[in-house]
Structure 1
Amino acid sequence: MKRSHLNVALAVAVAGLGALLWFSREQDEVFPPLTPLAQDAVSSITVAHPDAPVIRLQKQDGQWRLVEPVQAPADEFEVASLVNLASTDVKRSLAAAEVDLAELKLDPPQYRITLNDTELAFGDSEPIEHRRYVRTGDQVALVLDPPSAALDADYSDLVAKPLVPPGAEIRRIELPGLTVARENDAWTSPEHPDAESARVEPVVTAWRELRAMWNAERPDDAGDAGDPVRIVLADGELNLRIVEREPQLKIDNPAYGVRYTVSKAELDRLTKLAEPAPTPPPEASADEPTPSE
């Protein structure tokens, strides 16, 4: 082989090796997370969708609460989906000036989420791997599409699933046809004056432990439909309404604008006293003969 041919072959090989190394570098490039925020540093979250009320959450005394559009305890699991955005892995990052923001549905964005003071604008998803375009500052990142339940315009998913706040002290429950109240360290029911506390207390326990399987927005036209339930707490009260019993039990909290769906199997525990303990058979007298005598 002529030296000139050998030099050309070597040049091609070197160029090919360089391209391979460049491609590998592109594939292996590690980008910083979506924001510089540590997850435990996030103390306020805003979710803003076009033509929908702004959703705001704040961390108060270590607990997340909804503060807009309603005041309510927040579901820690659902809020975690929002907090996790702070450290979401970035698969690729481009300068915002180098892309068509309108084409990516980032101008205007489909919705915005603000963690503390850091705004994330969410656009379309790309068609190959279905990753989401997110603009933060002067960069557009591609990230795995986050779960949508906590990110959508319906805040009801973010309301805590327990109907009674954990740790709240229940003092009285008023249901249609049944009232239970705490008196002299015992649970009583005016409708069942002879019932022992042990029969009344399970109703209180059932409400204290009740959790929704899922939440939905309460219909605007719900009005006063359903049976009222008033739960008096040491520091306030809850006014609920049982609106459906079939095929699942549905309970509204008008103050939160939420309709909880809970298991139908809970209905009797929530609305009826426990059955009395069975009466033991009388003991045989010492003078009575036994069956073997």
Structure 2
Amino acid sequence: MAGMISKRWIINYLLIILIIIFTYIGNRYQVETGFQPENRITTLKPQDINRISIQIADYTITLTRKATQWQIDTPVKWPANNIVIERILGIALSETESSIRADQIDLATLGLQFPTAILSLNDTKFLFGATNNIGQRRYVMTGSTVYLISDIHLHFFNQGLSALIDRRLLPRTMRLQNFRIGSLKLSKTNDNGWQNDGKAITPNLLDDMITKWQTLEASRIQPYQKTNIPKQR
């Protein structure tokens, strides 16, 4: 019995000695563990971003977050496509394996002297340069550093306003109170039903029609140009 206890103490002492040795080696030679910190290009968090500015050539688009909905402020005031905006904000979480200080390279060779676009998230600017032919990556400069990251963000906004605007014909926050089409005149009642002042219509068909109007999306969006409207004769 005494012999077994002695062996256990010896084993415990050996384990303690091994722990001390490995700890010393780790501190002395800075042995790296399997976990490595992320090589993110910014410390921004998407949930903390509430202002966006996009510059493409001489065209500027600004947006602000209002509660859970993004709103386009200029050049028009209209709800933005939240899904597209969240994908743009993903650049804040981008990681890179290649970076260089901006003063150590000719920015013109990377397309950053005259960037393709400038994206501002709050007060942090991202300048988009040329693409790298290997691995579909793009040069992006933020602060005083140039990074090479996956080219998955620019195409979400380089088409301008039409890529950012919410395609729903009615804003998501709008609740219909009155509806008129042709001879059909509808108004909402106090119990959230609908009354028909014109053409008779079955309740199921009525609900289906109103729901479609509230969720209807445009198939294509383009800038309004008054000069292209046919003149009435």
Normalising by structure 2, what TM-score? 0.73
Deviation track 1:158-181 (CA, whole Å, cap 9, x = no partner) reads 122332233532111222443322
Tell me how far 1:115 sits from its aligned partner.
0.7
Tell me what 2:98 maps to.
Answer: 92
Structure 1: gaps spanning 5 or more residues: 1-28, 226-293
Tell me what 2:221 maps to.
Answer: 216
Tell me what 1:43 maps to.
Answer: 50
How many percent identity over aligned positions?
25
Distance 1:97 1:174, change over 3 A: same
* Correspondence 1:122 to 2:132: no
Tell me how far 1:127 sits from its aligned partner.
1.8
> Which sits farther off after the overlay, 94-103 or 112-121?
94-103
Q: Please state which structure has a larger fraction of its residues in helix.
A: 2
> Which sits farther off after the overlay, 60-69 or 115-124?
60-69
Structure 2: gaps spanning 5 or more residues: 1-35
* Correspondence 1:62 to 2:77: no
Aligned residues: CA RMSD:
2.6
Partners of 1:147 and 1:38 in 2: how far apart? 16
Q: Segments of 4+ in structure 1 off by > 6 A?
A: 222-225
Partner amino acid for 1:138? Answer: S
Tell me what 2:179 maps to.
Answer: 173
Partners of 1:127 and 1:61 in 2: how far apart? 40
Distance 1:199 1:102, change over 3 A: closer
Tell me how far 1:223 sits from its aligned partner.
6.5
Distance 1:109 1:137, change over 3 A: same
Partner amino acid for 1:87? Answer: L
Partner amino acid for 1:107? Answer: Q
Residues 64 and 71 in structure 2, CA contact (< 8 A), matched pair in contact too: yes
State the aligned residue count: 195
Partners of 2:109 and 2:38 in 1: how far apart? 23
Tell me what 1:83 maps to.
Answer: 89
Q: Please state which structure has a larger fraction of its residues in strand.
A: 1
